[in-house]
Structure 1
Amino acid sequence: MSTASTPGVVRDAADDPVKTGPSGGPRTRATGHRTGYLLYVAGKLGGAAVSLFAVLVTSFFLFRIIPGDPVKAMTHGKPTSLEQMATLRKQFGLDLPMWQQFTEYCAKALTGDLGISYQFHAPVGELIAEKVPATLLLTGVAVLIYSTLGLWLGTRSAWRHGGLGDRVNTGVALTLWSVPSFWLGLLMIIVFSVGIGPIPGMFPSGGMESGNETGFAYVLDVAHHMVLPVVTLVAVGYAQTLLVMRSSLLDEMGSDYLTTARAKGLRDDLVRRRHAVPNAMLPTVTMIFINLGHVAAGSILVETVFSWPGLGGLFYQALSVPDLPVVQGLFVVFAGAMILMNLLADLLYPLLDPRVGR
């Protein structure tokens, strides 16, 4: 009689085709974890693809409900016959049925062709590529500063919650979070560019450069122009990161593992840095990646107020026509950046917390 058929006899692990580890368990569990993670990744990729398609649909129909005729806007102030306007509509495909316009738009967008601008008569992709460096410079510096500042102040406020520093930080953050960015930008221009009372005008009111500098002087000139828009973005943006980090860390403060860490004799600073903060970072990771998504989108209002030559200013110009290919292309770029950053955050979660994705 074989061992496998004898009641009460345990088979040797080497005879088990499924369990390959010494005890049969660890390697099987590791395989299961890898399979679970791959399924988790596949689900997130599928969700991102669906979201991107929804963005394409939204970007096409949303901007077609805006009042105004693009052809009339392009020919405003110019003597144009009805035949010429009909030719322009045919040239830009505006005479086609809506469903045909939509299918052609989706087919081209999936290949990277975002169309030709009505206003600038240039490929939308080239216009966006031309403006990207200015937006990445401005919003990239601002996001780096306010994410770091928000994490640091949020951690300190939560760890010493109820104190004077916590009350001041939270009050300032709530106030700045409720302030419209364009209003704060205009206030910055009035106070620090035009000058008011004893405060002289110290910074340019708009633009990215003076136009007559080269070399290191050019770098200083750009940095000088960046001060007010960056301060505006930081003042409005750091508050959200601070409040999310503070809330997450407060949820961890009463956990048993922190009490155990203190009972082992660890210093309070080590308990915070090694145990509390890493476990409180998960919601804040989402916030940081959303902020990174904003790097591509920029800030339309702030760039417009400070006449910054980036994607936000281009979007405002195109929306006023309306230049449909440009606003659609920018909408896809902005939303696509957010989808990508959220996807990266979702893929990072299991590395921070192994319970995610099981």
Structure 2
Amino acid sequence: MSSVSRPTTAEAGAANGPGSAGAGRPSPSLRARGLSVGAYPRYVTGKLAGAAVSLLAVLVTSFFLFRMIPGDPVKFMTGRRPVSAEQIAVYRREFGLDLPLWQQFTDYCGKALTGDLGTSYQFRAPVVDKITEALPNTLLLTGTAFVLYTALGVFLGTRSAWRHGGLGDRLHTGLALTLYSIPSFWLGLLLIIVLSVGVDPIPGLFPTGGMESGREEGFAHVVDVAHHLVLPVVTLVAVEYGQTLLVTRSALLDEMGGDYLTTARAKGLRDDLVRRRHAVPNALLPTVTLVFVNLGRTVAGVILVETVFSWPGLGGLFYQALSVPDLPLVQGLFFVFAAAVILMNTLADLLYPLFDPRVGR
């Protein structure tokens, strides 16, 4: 066997020093992944520019879209009581509704770029404060569900693909398709009827809604919140895990015919090791995409589920704002929801070359 000579430390330093012929060469880690130092920054710049354009489009859309909603915010603010034209004019002037539409738009964009999303009509508080107040509750609910349905979907998806055609595969795939096609609000209502209200012989085991009873403190409060958390989390996991399972299963089935798996088996590797070390990592790219999309949706929450279970998060706040309509709050929430998805998609794009170097070229 021929040996490969290695450069001395001095030679390596000279080759990588400034002004040398080797300056600016790809680092070993980048070369190992097949990435080009020149190509990847261009790839990153393009993705970041696309994200910025998307955020600008969302900002414009959020302003004009919700002004098509029927309803007069002034009537809500006056409690639908008969008021004089002078009082209506005062309300419109207070919230800038008397200004021309183009001026309202420019004011909105200018403030939004500085982090000011306006003042809520119904709460008379900054929109940013209302979002900050509700965000932890949404992250608790949808974050817990996200971890559970992602882990469950990946685990069952790999098992189903590796033993495709078997009884377990058919059962898991059929159940995933069934649950994924069920509307989340309908499943939530069904769980409330069966497990909260109770249907003989099943007693009511869980609260019908809300986040806490309001009478507990310390560790008892944690247990109380977890008790309220069970049904909405079960609803989200049941509806969402099927998508991850099906994507993971499909991606792994595409990889199973690869020659490298046959080679790995020929070397004497156990079937479980072939799956975990070779097949699954190469099938993760579509699943990674889905995980990041779902992670962006975690910030948005699930509007219908939060509404059904009276969960005090961003989704319930959005539904409440739509009923007015509370234009600044609706616009601010819509922008936050869309921005979370755009940013997570962009992050997924930036990480793709780590899984498949061909993407960044």
TM surpasses 0.5: yes
CA drift at 1:324: 0.2
Q: Which residue identity lines up with residue 314 of structure 2 in the other structure?
A: L
CA drift at 1:148: 0.3
Q: Residue deviations 1:93-139, cap 9 Å, x none?
A: 11111111111111111111000001110000001111111111000
Secondary structure at the counterpart of residue 261 of structure 1: helix
CA RMSD of aligned residues (A): 2.1
Q: Are 1:154 and 1:241, in contact at CA under 8 Å, matched by a contact in 2?
A: yes
CA distance in 1, matches of 2:27, 2:50: 30
Distance 1:119 1:173, change over 3 A: same
Whether 2:333 is the aligned partner of 1:330: answer yes
Which residue of 1 is the match for residue 41 of structure 2? 38
User: How many percent identity over aligned positions?
Assistant: 75
1:96 to 90, 95, 99: 99
Distance 1:253 1:219, change over 3 A: same
Which residue of 1 is the match for residue 300 of structure 2? 297
Deviates more, 1:291-300 or 1:24-33: 24-33
Whether 2:318 is the aligned partner of 1:315: answer yes
Which residue of 1 is the match for residue 21 of structure 2? 20
CA distance in 2, matches of 1:285, 1:27: 25
Which residue of 1 is the match for residue 205 of structure 2? 202
Whether 2:84 is the aligned partner of 1:81: answer yes
Secondary structure at the counterpart of residue 34 of structure 1: coil
Secondary structure at the counterpart of residue 356 of structure 1: helix
CA distance in 2, matches of 1:353, 1:130: 39
2:188 to 162, 168, 185: 185
Residues 209-228 of structure 1 correspond to what in structure 2 (within 5 A)? 209-228=212-231
1:348 to 346, 351, 355: 351
Which residue of 2 is the match for residue 285 of structure 1? 288
Which residue of 2 is the match for residue 7 of structure 1? none
Distance 1:26 1:192, change over 3 A: closer
Which residue of 1 is the match for residue 12 of structure 2? none
Q: Residue deviations 1:42-71, cap 9 Å, x none?
A: 000000000000100110011001111111
Distance 1:155 1:19, change over 3 A: farther
1:270 to 265, 268, 273: 273
Distance 1:79 1:25, change over 3 A: closer
Which residue of 1 is the match for residue 129 of structure 2? 126
Q: Which residue identity lines up with residue 20 of structure 1 in the other structure?
A: A
Which residue of 2 is the match for residue 237 of structure 1? 240
Gaps of 5+ in 2: 1-14
CA distance in 1, matches of 2:258, 2:86: 75
CA drift at 1:309: 0.7
Aligned residues: 342
CA distance in 2, matches of 1:261, 1:109: 55
Which residue of 1 is the match for residue 250 of structure 2? 247
Which residue of 2 is the match for residue 11 of structure 1? none
Residues 141-156 of structure 1 correspond to what in structure 2 (within 5 A)? 141-156=144-159
CA distance in 2, matches of 1:25, 1:213: 62
Whether 2:63 is the aligned partner of 1:65: answer no
CA drift at 1:76: 3.1
Q: Are 1:300 and 1:312, in contact at CA under 8 Å, matched by a contact in 2?
A: yes
Which residue of 1 is the match for residue 160 of structure 2? 157
CA distance in 1, matches of 2:355, 2:56: 29
TM-score (norm 2): 0.91
Distance 1:169 1:101, change over 3 A: same
CA distance in 1, matches of 2:318, 2:181: 24
Q: Residue deviations 1:300-345, cap 9 Å, x none?
A: 1000000001111110110000000000000001001001110111
Q: Are 2:247 and 2:286, in contact at CA under 8 Å, matched by a contact in 1?
A: yes
CA distance in 2, matches of 1:109, 1:249: 43
CA drift at 1:78: 2.4
Distance 1:197 1:62, change over 3 A: same
Secondary structure at the counterpart of residue 359 of structure 2: coil
CA drift at 1:79: 3.3
Q: Are 1:21 and 1:27, in contact at CA under 8 Å, matched by a contact in 2?
A: no
Q: Which residue identity lines up with residue 51 of structure 1 in the other structure?
A: S
Deviates more, 1:186-195 or 1:29-38: 29-38
CA distance in 2, matches of 1:27, 1:58: 43
CA distance in 2, matches of 1:298, 1:82: 40
Q: Are 1:207 and 1:306, in contact at CA under 8 Å, matched by a contact in 2?
A: yes
CA distance in 1, matches of 2:240, 2:205: 23
CA drift at 1:21: 4.7
CA distance in 1, matches of 2:249, 2:27: 39
Which residue of 2 is the match for residue 106 of structure 1? 109
CA drift at 1:206: 0.3
